[in-house]
Amino acid sequence: MVVKIMGEFATLMHYNEVADFLSTQGYEVLTFDNRGIGKSTTQIITQTSKLLGQDTVELVDHVWGKGSTVHVYGASMGGCIAQYAAVSLAKQKRLKSLYLAVTPRGSFIRLPFCTWFYKMVMPLVVKNDPREMVAWLIPKSFSADYLEATHTNGRKMYDLWFERWTAEYKEWFSFYKPEICASQSTVFSLHYLEDSDLALLRDVGVPISVHIAVKDDLMKPSQQFQLADDLKCNRIVFSGGQWAI
Which DSSP string corresponds to 115-147?
HHHHHHHHHHHS-SSHHHHHHHHHHHHS-HHHH
Of the listed ranges 5-9, 44-48, 83-87, 129-133, the one predicted with least confidence: 44-48
Helix (H, G, I), strand (E, B) or coil at 233: coil
Is pLDDT above 80 for 210?
Answer: yes
User: Sign of the C-alpha dihedral, residues 173, 179, 180, 183?
Assistant: positive
Of the listed ranges 20-34, 131-145, 163-177, 201-215, the one predicted with least confidence: 131-145
Mean pLDDT of 165-183: 90
Is pLDDT above 90 for 124?
Answer: no
Percent of the chain surpassing pLDDT 70: 96
pLDDT band at residue 109 under the 50/70/90 scheme: low
Q: What is the pLDDT at residue 245? A: 43
Rounded to whole angstroms, how far apart are CA atoms 73 and 169?
Answer: 24
Mean pLDDT of 199-209: 96
Rounded to whole angstroms, how far apart are CA atoms 63 and 30?
Answer: 8
Rounded to whole angstroms, how far apart are CA atoms 80 and 5?
Answer: 9
Contact 34, 64 (CB under 8 A): no
Is pLDDT above 90 for 71?
Answer: yes
Of the listed ranges 5-19, 140-154, 166-180, 229-243, the one predicted with least confidence: 229-243
Is pLDDT above 60 for 6?
Answer: yes
Mean pLDDT of 5-9: 92
Q: What is the pLDDT at residue 86? A: 98
Is pLDDT above 70 for 110?
Answer: no
Q: What is the pLDDT at residue 181? A: 85
Q: What is the pLDDT at residue 112? A: 62
Question: Residues with Cβ < 8 Å from 87, sequence gap 6 or more?
Answer: 53, 193, 197, 200, 201
